Amino acid sequence: MFLHYLDLSWRSLKRTPLVSFLMVLAIAIGIGITMTSLSVYHMMSMDPIPAKSKQLFMVQLETMDEGEGWWTSDNMPKQLTFQDSENLQLAAQAPKQAAMVKTGFAVHLNNPDFKPLLQPTRATGRDFFSMFNVPFLYGSVWSEEADITGDSLVVIGESLNQQLFGGGNNIGKTLYLDDEMYTIVGIIKTWSLASKFYDLNNGAFRETEQVYIPFAQVRLKELESWGNNNGWKHEDIQTAKDKLNSEILWLQFWVELPDQQSVEQYQAFLNNYIQEQKKVGRFKRDNPRVVIRNVNQWLQYNEVVSEDNKILVGLSFMFLAVCLANILGLLLAKFLRRAPEVGVRRALGASKNQVFAQHLVEVLVLGLLGGVCGILVAQLGLMGIRHSGSGYEALAVMNLKMYLSAPLISMTACVLAGLYPAWLVCRTNPAIYLKSQ
């Protein structure tokens, strides 16, 4: 029966090509525009590490004095001081933890033929790689011992390996970061994230780093931050050592807590830590807060999905509604004009339900056609976004979910628009039309 209805729908569409074309066009444009903004929204808001997003937590400590606010929604600073990052890393109270900061070097081979490359670098603990499921191509991360001693060991990315050595297993070779020699212990595979959730300070959609060194190097080599440095009080900082001992907020700290019990334990540890620091004269608040947020909470807190994008998604769904009102009008006209024919079919024994079902199948076909054409329109829109230089290149794409959503949204919308006309037409009283035939 369904195939028969499909056949009837196809004939009906062919019978009124102009109206059909207009309807498909209206749906295609509506869906196209909606899918364009929805795809970007979807990519922006995608869980960057679905397997572990509920177990990874970013730590925030309320280090500022009483009366000092912050510009975040809950007045909590987004980064940590060096003292706290180092203390928490060394305390090792979570199953896995990683203090981290973005820095950078001129990477070269101490060879005049090779022009140095400026590379953002992440100084972090060895747990970073297992916490964030970073895949290794060759070798592995530095040892636990190196985490503490801060040996000059480095993990590099596949593309830097390509640039430096033309690819291949180069474990054990050396390279220079500025003017110091480092030994390569690991090479990681190209590792891309939907959003760079672990450090959102410098653009949430930047690529992951190609150079990783032990966190202890921050103190040893007095490394500078390539990210934000935020102070809340005036401190006389002249040397790198002053900065390490200051209250300037410039590092991130992540922990992996596999279950509720470890979450509670870790929170208790942090509360305890903050009280102990209070005793040595820091944290001058009555009740300094401790907040930990998992990956998705952290993304939301940092408003990774831009306001503009949310507005666009809303407006494009309203746009889709206009297109549907348009289609509804056309469907009404089209279906009612067919009332005489329906009258005959009803008189010949077709039930109301059958007539209703047949018309719904017809709108479903319309929706499918419109959805598929809508994907084409969306591709045009996304192409435009990719060429706008707005840094959305990697985001303005449709993934499988979006390809499937397009016809689904389209068919749902068309059925909603088609219900009333189909209901009207199936109520046709056969007698009236038989009389006038």
Partner 1 sequence: MTEIKPIFSSLLRSRAGAVLLIVQIALTLAIVSNAAFMINDRIAYLNQPTGYEEADIFKFNVTTFGKNIDLVQQFELDEAAIRAIPGVVNAVMTNQVPISGSGDSTGFALKPRSEPAPSVRSSYFMGDEHFSDALGVKIIAGRDFNRDDVIMSNNYSKLPTVALVSKQFAEDMFADKSGLGEVIYYGDNPLTVIGILDHMTGPWLSDSKPNNVVVFPFAIGQTIRKFIVRTEPGMRDEVMSKIEDLMLSLESQRVITDLTGLDEKKADYVAQDRLMMNMLVMLSVILIVVTALGIFGLTLFNISKRTKQIGTRRALGAKKSDIINYFLLENGLISCIGLVVGAVFAILLGKQLMTLYSLPQLNTWFVIVTALFILTMSLLAVYAPAKRAANISPSIATRSV
Binding region for partner 1 (CB under 8 A)? 19, 22, 26, 29-30, 33, 36-37, 104-106, 116-118, 178-179, 224, 234, 237-239, 306-308, 310-312, 315-316, 318-319, 321-323, 325-326, 328-330, 332-333, 384-385, 388-392, 420
Please identify, using beta-carbon distances, which residue of 294 and 302 lies nearer to partner 1: 302
Structural contact between residues 293 and 58, judged by C-beta atoms closer than 8 angstroms: yes
Residue 194 beta carbon to partner 1: minimum distance, rounded to whole angstroms: 18
105 burial (CB, 10 Å; 0-12 / 13-18 / 19+) is buried
Residue 430 beta carbon to partner 1: minimum distance, rounded to whole angstroms: 21
Please identify, using beta-carbon distances, which residue of 74 and 308 lies nearer to partner 1: 308
Residue 321 beta carbon to partner 1: minimum distance, rounded to whole angstroms: 6
Please identify, using beta-carbon distances, which residue of 189 and 337 lies nearer to partner 1: 337
Please identify, using beta-carbon distances, which residue of 329 and 340 lies nearer to partner 1: 329
Please identify, using beta-carbon distances, which residue of 30 and 214 lies nearer to partner 1: 30
Q: How far apart are CA 81 and CA 229, in angstroms?
A: 9
Token look-up 């509360």 returns 271
Residue 308 beta carbon to partner 1: minimum distance, rounded to whole angstroms: 4
Residue 359 beta carbon to partner 1: minimum distance, rounded to whole angstroms: 15
Residue 5 beta carbon to partner 1: minimum distance, rounded to whole angstroms: 24
Judging by DSSP bridges, how do beta strands 96-108 and 153-157 pair with one another? unpaired
Please identify, using beta-carbon distances, which residue of 37 and 89 lies nearer to partner 1: 37
Please identify, using beta-carbon distances, which residue of 292 and 342 lies nearer to partner 1: 342
Please identify, using beta-carbon distances, which residue of 179 and 286 lies nearer to partner 1: 179
For residue 66, the tally of other CB atoms under 10 A from its CB is 10
Residue 273 beta carbon to partner 1: minimum distance, rounded to whole angstroms: 29
Residue 238 beta carbon to partner 1: minimum distance, rounded to whole angstroms: 5
Please identify, using beta-carbon distances, which residue of 160 and 255 lies nearer to partner 1: 160
Residue 118 beta carbon to partner 1: minimum distance, rounded to whole angstroms: 5
